[in-house]
């Protein structure tokens, strides 16, 4: 398993506290790039005033740092494009009966 796959696997363990689907399948992770064992993640939240706006990005960053081989994690919380339900995976839509 390459490092990007390990990062995705780790991110899939993190759930939005209000929606019973992991944040990867929800479409909150916009981009994962890796260069020389440094991981850069662009993510968003369902809304800017999300109750976990401070804790969720930290949880993502901390979880990725636990992966063997990761030297550094940069996490960019972005609001463009704004998240909407169309960004969810088919699995997430099925889980939520959408």
**Residue 93 CB neighbour total at 10 angstroms:** 14
The reported pLDDT for the residue numbered 50 is: 78
pLDDT of 89 strictly over 80: yes
70 within domain boundaries:
yes
Evaluate whether 21 touches 85 at the Cβ level (below 8 Å).
Answer: no
Q: Is residue 39 part of a domain?
A: yes
Q: Is the pTM of this model over 0.85?
A: yes
β-sheet bridge partners, residue 58: none
pLDDT tens profile 1-41: 799 999 999 999 999 888 889 999 999 999 999 999 999 99
CA–CA gap between residue 92 and residue 20 (Å, rounded): 9
Asked whether the predicted pLDDT for residue 72 surpasses 80, the reply is yes
Owning domain of residue 39: 3-80
Does residue 91 fall inside a structural domain? no
- How many angstroms separate the CA atoms of 86 and 37, rounded? 31
């Amino acid at each position: 398993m390459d490092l990007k796959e390990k990062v995705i696997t780790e991110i899939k363990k993190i759930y939005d506290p209000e929606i019973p689907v992991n944040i990867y399948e929800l479409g909150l992770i916009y981009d994962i790039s890796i260069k020389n064992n440094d991981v850069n993640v662009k993510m968003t939240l369902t809304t800017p005033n999300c109750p976990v706006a401070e804790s969720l990005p930290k949880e993502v960053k901390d979880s990725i740092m636990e992966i063997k081989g990761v030297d550094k994690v940069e996490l960019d919380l972005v609001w463009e494009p704004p998240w909407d339900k169309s960004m969810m995976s088919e699995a997430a839509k099925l889980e939520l009966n959408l």
